[in-house]
Amino acid sequence: MKISVAELIKQAQKSAQRGQKESALVLAGQALQLEPNNRSILEINLRLSYQLNRTELVQQTLLRLIDLVPENLQYSISLAQSYVDNGQADQSPRVFEPLLHKFNHPDLYFNYAWFLTRAASYDKAIIYYKKSIAHNLQGAEEAHLNLANIYSTWLLQPDNAEMHLKLALKLRPDYIDALYNLANLHEDRGNRDSANRYFRKIRSLEPHHAKALARLGMAATLNESQSIIDQLQNLLQSTTLGDDDRIDCLYSLGKLYDQNKHYPAAFDAWEAANKLNGSMLGRFDHSIFKDHIDNIISTYSNVHFERMTPCHEESPIFIGGMFRSGSTLLEQILASHPKICAAGELDFFPRKFRQLTHLSSPHSTAILKDIGEQYLKLLTSLNSGTELVTDKRPDNILYFGFIKSIFPSAKLVITKRNPIDNCLSIYSHRFGSDMKYSCDLDDIMFYSNQVDRLVAHWRDLFPNSIHQVDYEDLINQSQQTISDTLRFLDLEWDKSCLKFYTLRNVVSTASVWQVRQPLYTSSCGRWQNYHSQLKYLCL
């Protein structure tokens, strides 16, 4: 007896309710064979595919729903997000392109721009954000906010970023996100008073805005610190404070205690912050990371480079090493030289490397040549008229082999710091979700030791195009260390490098305030203030 579509749907729903999701999915599939354009069945199929983490089926079902109901933009958004979540961000904007020929709607332009940004197509994203605004986007302040993020984070155009943030605030004066980003922008440009003014304005609108208070704490001078300590302690007593905000407050409180030389209290605050942050990020797996380093070393060997056909003759500059090892300070010093422009922490090579994992021959000459051309175009767009551009991203250290496969003459600068000082500095700051190791002292030291192993490999492979800068030498023997680095880059000494702290470029790292002041020695051997907590790391 032939079963009806209605009965198949009923059975699928019952199976799903009993937790038999695989059976439910099979029944939904049978129903779709009978009625392939039944939206209700497709919706059931989609929900079950999500629950079972069947990514390919999720995408196939969404494609059918988009074809069936193209005016429902949510299907397109869901498909694009699926591509992003599965490391295929470049594919995500393409979902919207057929719709652009059918519909003329501001929401379509806005979402297309959002996913263009995920795919690093920043110039095109700007065009479509502006187009969404021109077509009377409801809530246009969010488009201005996103435009500001592109200009500040990716295109190094802070003036344009500030203009769009002010346009957002003109539309909505109490827009907290715009005020917060405007404060960030002033902070990144080294304008402490302006940044603090906007953080305080946020607090006047939302007295319990924890992140604004935490940022005030991170920027506070010694004279300002006690008042903010009191406010942070009061806020941390609130049972309604979310974990994400609590983490920021604890890191900030630790900084303030450290600034006041209350070292046990500082460590306690950081320990609490890292315990909570670590529970959110998940465990850092030593064996997986060691295997990753092993794979890099075995892949990028002498044999690999002997087989490579040179793609490009240019010699771009890359700075890498451990986070908090002095890379921001070094780049700021170099950027003070009239022939160098600082590009900051570009995500180009990590992003491209992730994309290549989907290819069968990631090191083909044609692919590498194309990536090199894209990178050179990016550098040209960022260059402010200087001869050289520095790409300063600490985890560039993991991609030096990939980089050298494209640019055999690339110059690699490695920053190095006393490992226990480096460990403490990482432990006392909050990092992103991809740095799970940063929440545990043993994990940080393990990561550091593995990076040292990789650095030794790179130095063996590239003895003539790699240069190490020790943080302690940079602080204590500044002119000599800077001169040696400039010589490695084929540049002459320039005294402006010692006035790096007067530079008002954009610095978007945790070192934003440190690089706005002259060199100081108090961060060398700083771990001794925490000797009782860190002495076991010396063993």
The mean of the pLDDT values for the chain is 91
Write the pLDDT tens digit of every residue in 164-214. 999 999 999 999 999 999 999 998 888 889 999 999 999 999 999 999 999
Kindly list the distances between the CA atom of residue 456 and the CA atoms of 297, 320, 414, 537, in Å, as whole numbers in the listed order: 10, 14, 11, 21
Quickly tell me which residue has 């699926």 as its tokens.
82
Let me know how long the chain is. Answer: 539
pTM for this prediction: 0.87
- The SS3 of residue 95 is helix
- The SS3 of residue 469 is strand
- The SS3 of residue 320 is strand
Domains delineated in the chain: 286-538 (3.40.50.300)
State the pLDDT at residue 514.
66
Write the pLDDT tens digit of every residue in 244-256. 999 999 999 999 9
Write the pLDDT tens digit of every residue in 479-528. 999 999 999 999 999 998 888 777 766 665 655 656 656 677 778 889 99
Q: Do the beta carbons of residue 321 and residue 466 sit within 8 Å? A: no
Write the pLDDT tens digit of every residue in 412-470. 999 999 999 999 999 999 998 889 999 999 999 999 999 999 999 999 999 999 999 99
Mean pLDDT of 282-300: 96
Which residues neighbour 451 within 8 Å (Cβ) at sequence distance 6 or greater? Answer: 293, 321, 322, 397
Q: What's the one-letter identity of residue 244?
A: D
340, β-bridge pairs: 388
> Please, is 203 exposed, middle or buried when counting C-beta atoms within 10 Å of its C-beta (0-12, 13-18, 19+)?
middle
Assigned token pair, 337: 């030289």
The yes-or-no verdict on residue 3 having pLDDT over 80 is: no
Q: Which helix (H) or strand (E) holds 306?
A: helix 302-307
Q: Do the beta carbons of residue 195 and residue 183 sit within 8 Å? A: yes
Q: How confident is the model at residue 2 (pLDDT cuts 50, 70, 90)?
A: low
Mean pLDDT of 287-308: 94
State the pLDDT at residue 16.
78
Write the pLDDT tens digit of every residue in 346-372. 999 998 888 887 666 677 889 999 999
- Is the Cα dihedral 454, 460, 462, 467 positive or negative? positive
State the pLDDT at residue 506.
64
Write the pLDDT tens digit of every residue in 71-127. 999 999 999 999 999 888 999 999 999 999 999 999 999 999 999 999 999 999 999
Closest CA relative to residue 332, chosen from 504, 153, 187, 161? 504
For the stretch 406-429, what's the b/e string if a residue is b when 16 or more beta carbons lie within 10 angstroms of its beta carbon? bbbebbbbbbbbbbbbbbbbbbbb
* Chain centroid to CA 157: 18
The yes-or-no verdict on residue 18 having pLDDT over 90 is: no
Q: How confident is the model at residue 223 (pLDDT cuts 50, 70, 90)?
A: confident
State the pLDDT at residue 310.
84
Closest CA relative to residue 356, chosen from 371, 372, 345? 371
State the pLDDT at residue 539.
63
State the pLDDT at residue 215.
94
